[in-house]
Structure 1
């Protein structure tokens, strides 16, 4: 597939340039290097979902929204709110680094420090950037598959307010509101989102599930920026999620998935306090911040009972970054991080607690030696109080021979993932001799604009090799345990297209082929596909704005077959989902909208035995000032 992708790239490069004579307006991204950059400076593959796209699609959960982007595979255990994981380019779901308003939110109380997307609803999320490929130089641990960066709205001068409420299938209510603005030295904003539903049976109805599992979610966010002078400012950000989710469990004596009255209650806290200072007429910029993440979750057998067990994961981090730009064509980034993850677990037998300290330094150079070429390279070293040190390198380049109409990209990235505190210290399964997982990834791609900018095509071929992957090993001790035993490989091609033949019509499409396999020599699973990672996925959306103001749209997503287990003995059939949507403005401030999801009532599973939504309809109103 790499050869196929490279051949396709060469074909596009050789095609006649029926493109505009000057570059289209550059998008600005922040995930690649941690600072604002033009896309023309970045050699890595990044997809951006902006506020207009998020509003148009009308999705409730973040996983449903990003599932239409290339390289993304996801799974969820039943109802909205159920445990959900996102895999980028065939990596483990625990190898996806997640940021919310600049704060790393991977959970140190999780088995693999993974982030659970189940409670992450779209709410007041204003922008999402998805960076694919290993990128630990900038972001450190977990960034083996890539990075998903979620941002709320950045307040500006003046006043803005938005609110919406919708109702639909299974007594579902979804409401949100935000207010932002500023004057003088202060800008800020606050937002709230509330969601509740009677849900579906987490235990699939096709396998015997009968009772609905409800879900409730309250999300709050706030931002404040104080510009004390032209050179000095203070940033404060906060994000909070409270959730209650009815689940189905594995009761004795069968220990098979079944309808149960169990439920999980969770609270997630995200905090950021930073100072920004510019010196030397803006050529030298400093940013220092303290961030805090905490995830508390408790599991109950039934309502009106005490918690049976629970987890608490906390990460306190100090982060410094400096950016020195002696000339316009060169930047030097350098930084230091100190991170302290804490893990606590309780059940009827007692309490388990562990903590670690991680110190990191990195340096990154971004150079534009001549017009059209941007080269980035850097190195990072992390020192973990338990397993020791890890050094990673990364480099990428972006070259445009025609002022941004065509961009040729190449990237090499190394990733590493520290063992989780559970994997290191759990009294039954932990292994204090674990080392970090490591990866190397390679990209080559092209972005091309045609027909005076009304069409954009992007193709990327990639490969990633991961070694020392941590997996559960049944041969350790009496109960099994964790060991650095696995190697995996993922390779494939991603392609996207955006077409706007007239101003009223927008078409987007994406396709990705991912061949992700176990490459552990001597393993019974050698050569098998990695679980829950379909090889093929394609998505297409069309939106049209009629002359009288009505907007209509549709999205079709097709996902191929996959397997639910490493032995590849339990198949998950592929599926095709279609959804339609519409919205209509009433005056300058009011809009009514609605949608139908899973239009053809497709029956499918993303995790064996767990239910998914059938055909469902929703309608609502939006107000904007």
Structure 2
């Protein structure tokens, strides 16, 4: 994984990068510049990373990103939360090709990081820290932009794919075809993954009834692009995914509890460059999420359930970028961005059993305008500033801003960075309009959750042994304050804005390029997340996270990619061996080791072995659920 830095903490929209107008960005305004010139802490997970380290889901790929804590609550496909810099999982905005993918029908408007398969993904861009000034609601803790695969510009037809199988009856396959013909380019692909899985319920819980939670998932995607004129492009994309997987009851195995999740999303976008200085683009997109959870009575429990969640989102984005004139020796490389965003969301859901069945049938509209500016001053100092105003029907406007600076020290091969900004997260449709049979009602008068944050850091390249970048060291200190956080009231009859939190932390990274054949990377994150009223630590936020990984090529064509992940102790509600609630206390962390070995048989054909959790460590990332055991796959990958 390597860092990518774009102006004003912006994530690029790389679909344009290999086309006629590389600087056109459609969602918000994002001006690509050199990686040394941006104040934001960002990371990129490339297609090579996904293949070399054997990442199957988005949760796998995010596990080594500094400041990110991934918490699964079950086997493959089950709910997996992502805590960015100690914030709640709902405080992360996830984009797929620039379109928001957080589920409107989720009670917290959150994204399930364990459900997205990565075979059709070109790269994953991760921004840490508030980005509401560009991406609006939910971008308090960070943004994840998932960029799907696209066609090569120099081939009329390219066939690609992979197939693998191994332990737990696991079978994985993907394949597709893409190319460029004249002014048109196309891509069509599909993927599937099936496994019998593991028993995720800890053996310590009694009575213990071993029962594995299997998974079956399929996904397909299509892309069609047209370049009718120089510096002009029109493109359409369509993506579908369905997952079926087993679930367990609360703190107990349940052989008849299952889930089905479906999602499709599509968009049409176009852009052009005018007068050689102004780039403008328009995007129209739509998505649909449908989740069904069903439980039938069995020999162990008479409980039944049928929960159905349906969410829709329609989006219109208009983005512009104007390149500004140079100011002589005082300033240059200036750009002004501005645009408009409209979102319509609906949720029609029902869950639980009588008399406690809950439901929501509601919709809301949001409008936003944004502007940002960047300039390079005196050839050393990059300054950026931006703001955005969101207006959501029912609770009015929310204004956010972000300021940043990078000062380059070429004499020391170093850069100093600083940034400050604000963020907000709108209440979900369930939090505003949800109803339960127990008398609980949503609160339509809820205010957005708000945050203020700042960070300071830097990076330095250290030469040695004839290499100008033998070592690269990075360090960032961050601090955030949160107010108006949403929680249930004291009588548990509705939601109110009552909570406050204070979070601070340090992110450290070190890359050692020992030789052309050995690259080693390490990352460490220290986080202290506190409830401002009680000064107690927030649940499921470990103070310490470590990761070590590397790429080793001992002989030509052979690549060995080890990875070690360490999660420290974290506070959580603990349940004893009989499934009874005990208290909030420290839950033990754990260390997992992964290994991928690949060999390039021919120029475009490779064979590989993927092993995850080599030590078969079964620690509980959250009380009541253990991580999957050892999985080993063998397979081949090709491009023709």
Alignment TM-score, normalising by the size of structure 2: 0.88
Rate the CA distance shift 1:367–1:89 in 2: closer, same or farther, 3 A: same
Unaligned runs of 5+ residues in structure 2 are 13-28, 326-331, 575-581
* Cα distance in 2, alignment partners of residues 335 and 395 from structure 1: 18
* Cα distance in 2, alignment partners of residues 403 and 180 from structure 1: 46
Match of 2:608 among 580, 583, 593: 593
* Cα distance in 2, alignment partners of residues 570 and 79 from structure 1: 24
How many angstroms does 1:346 deviate by? Answer: 3.2
* Cα distance in 2, alignment partners of residues 285 and 228 from structure 1: 16
How many angstroms does 1:403 deviate by? Answer: 8.2
* Cα distance in 2, alignment partners of residues 604 and 140 from structure 1: 36
What residue number does 2:287 align with? Answer: 293
On the 8 A contact 1:531/1:568 being kept in 2, the answer is: no
On the 8 A contact 1:596/1:616 being kept in 2, the answer is: yes
* Cα distance in 2, alignment partners of residues 145 and 350 from structure 1: 29
How many angstroms does 1:576 deviate by? Answer: 0.8
On the 8 A contact 1:202/1:209 being kept in 2, the answer is: no
On the 8 A contact 1:284/1:325 being kept in 2, the answer is: yes
Match of 1:432 among 441, 444, 450: 444
Rate the CA distance shift 1:27–1:179 in 2: closer, same or farther, 3 A: farther
How many angstroms does 1:297 deviate by? Answer: 0.7
* Cα distance in 2, alignment partners of residues 276 and 466 from structure 1: 38
Rate the CA distance shift 1:539–1:568 in 2: closer, same or farther, 3 A: farther
What residue number does 1:467 align with? Answer: 483
Rate the CA distance shift 1:187–1:144 in 2: closer, same or farther, 3 A: same
On the 8 A contact 1:341/1:355 being kept in 2, the answer is: yes
* Cα distance in 1, alignment partners of residues 283 and 505 from structure 2: 38
* Cα distance in 2, alignment partners of residues 131 and 602 from structure 1: 30
On the 8 A contact 2:6/2:30 being kept in 1, the answer is: no
On the 8 A contact 2:512/2:519 being kept in 1, the answer is: yes
What residue number does 2:266 align with? Answer: 271
* Cα distance in 2, alignment partners of residues 407 and 127 from structure 1: 25
* Cα distance in 2, alignment partners of residues 101 and 231 from structure 1: 20
* Cα distance in 2, alignment partners of residues 67 and 266 from structure 1: 23
What residue number does 1:383 align with? Answer: 391
Match of 1:115 among 93, 111, 114: 111
How many angstroms does 1:204 deviate by? Answer: 2.7
Q: Does 1:542 align with 2:538?
A: no
* Cα distance in 2, alignment partners of residues 209 and 441 from structure 1: 47
Question: In structure 2, the residue corresponding to 1:357 is in which secondary structure?
Answer: strand
* Cα distance in 1, alignment partners of residues 334 and 412 from structure 2: 19
Over aligned residues, Cα RMSD in angstroms? 2.3
Rate the CA distance shift 1:209–1:490 in 2: closer, same or farther, 3 A: farther
* Cα distance in 2, alignment partners of residues 25 and 117 from structure 1: 21
Q: Any residues of structure 2 matched to 1:188-203 within 5 Å, and which?
A: 188-203=186-201
Unaligned runs of 5+ residues in structure 1 are 1-23, 251-255
What residue number does 1:406 align with? Answer: 414
Q: Does 1:581 align with 2:596?
A: yes
* Cα distance in 1, alignment partners of residues 61 and 513 from structure 2: 21
How many angstroms does 1:307 deviate by? Answer: 7.6
* Cα distance in 1, alignment partners of residues 420 and 340 from structure 2: 23
What residue number does 1:261 align with? Answer: 256
What do residues 289-321 of structure 1 show as CA deviations (whole Å, max 9, x unaligned)? 112121101111149999822011111111111
What residue number does 2:337 align with? Answer: 333
On the 8 A contact 1:203/1:259 being kept in 2, the answer is: no
How many angstroms does 1:506 deviate by? Answer: 0.9
* Segment of structure 1 superposing worse, 611-620 or 131-140: 611-620
What do residues 259-291 of structure 1 show as CA deviations (whole Å, max 9, x unaligned)? 24111111111212111021012x101111112
Q: Does 1:244 align with 2:238?
A: no
* Cα distance in 2, alignment partners of residues 179 and 500 from structure 1: 35
On the 8 A contact 1:458/1:496 being kept in 2, the answer is: yes
Question: In structure 2, the residue corresponding to 1:205 is in which secondary structure?
Answer: coil
How many angstroms does 1:568 deviate by? Answer: 6.6
On the 8 A contact 1:179/1:191 being kept in 2, the answer is: yes
* Cα distance in 1, alignment partners of residues 412 and 66 from structure 2: 22
Question: In structure 2, the residue corresponding to 1:229 is in which secondary structure?
Answer: coil
Match of 1:456 among 452, 459, 472: 472
Q: Any residues of structure 2 matched to 1:72-111 within 5 Å, and which?
A: 72-111=68-107
What residue number does 1:224 align with? Answer: 224
Question: In structure 1, the residue corresponding to 2:59 is in which secondary structure?
Answer: helix
What residue number does 2:520 align with? Answer: 507
What residue number does 1:180 align with? Answer: 178
What residue number does 1:442 align with? Answer: 454
* Cα distance in 2, alignment partners of residues 139 and 257 from structure 1: 40
Q: Kindly tell me the number of residue pairs found equivalent between the two proteins.
A: 588
* Cα distance in 2, alignment partners of residues 395 and 412 from structure 1: 5
* Cα distance in 2, alignment partners of residues 151 and 323 from structure 1: 21
* Cα distance in 2, alignment partners of residues 116 and 76 from structure 1: 9
Match of 1:484 among 494, 497, 518: 497
How many angstroms does 1:571 deviate by? Answer: 3.1
What residue number does 1:621 align with? Answer: 636
What residue number does 1:34 align with? Answer: 30
* Cα distance in 1, alignment partners of residues 70 and 57 from structure 2: 12
Q: Any residues of structure 2 matched to 1:6-21 within 5 Å, and which?
A: none
How many angstroms does 1:326 deviate by? Answer: 2.6
* Cα distance in 2, alignment partners of residues 218 and 499 from structure 1: 38
* Cα distance in 2, alignment partners of residues 113 and 311 from structure 1: 12
Question: In structure 2, the residue corresponding to 1:496 is in which secondary structure?
Answer: strand
Question: In structure 2, the residue corresponding to 1:423 is in which secondary structure?
Answer: helix
On the 8 A contact 2:542/2:570 being kept in 1, the answer is: yes
How many angstroms does 1:612 deviate by? Answer: 1.5
Match of 1:558 among 566, 569, 581: 566
* Cα distance in 2, alignment partners of residues 408 and 40 from structure 1: 9
* Cα distance in 1, alignment partners of residues 502 and 371 from structure 2: 28
What do residues 38-93 of structure 1 show as CA deviations (whole Å, max 9, x unaligned)? 32331110011112212110121211221111001011111111100111000000
Rate the CA distance shift 1:517–1:213 in 2: closer, same or farther, 3 A: same
* Cα distance in 2, alignment partners of residues 271 and 306 from structure 1: 35
* Cα distance in 2, alignment partners of residues 402 and 262 from structure 1: 60
* Cα distance in 2, alignment partners of residues 198 and 302 from structure 1: 20
Q: Does 1:56 align with 2:52?
A: yes
Rate the CA distance shift 1:113–1:25 in 2: closer, same or farther, 3 A: closer
Question: In structure 2, the residue corresponding to 1:212 is in which secondary structure?
Answer: coil
Alignment TM-score, normalising by the size of structure 1: 0.90
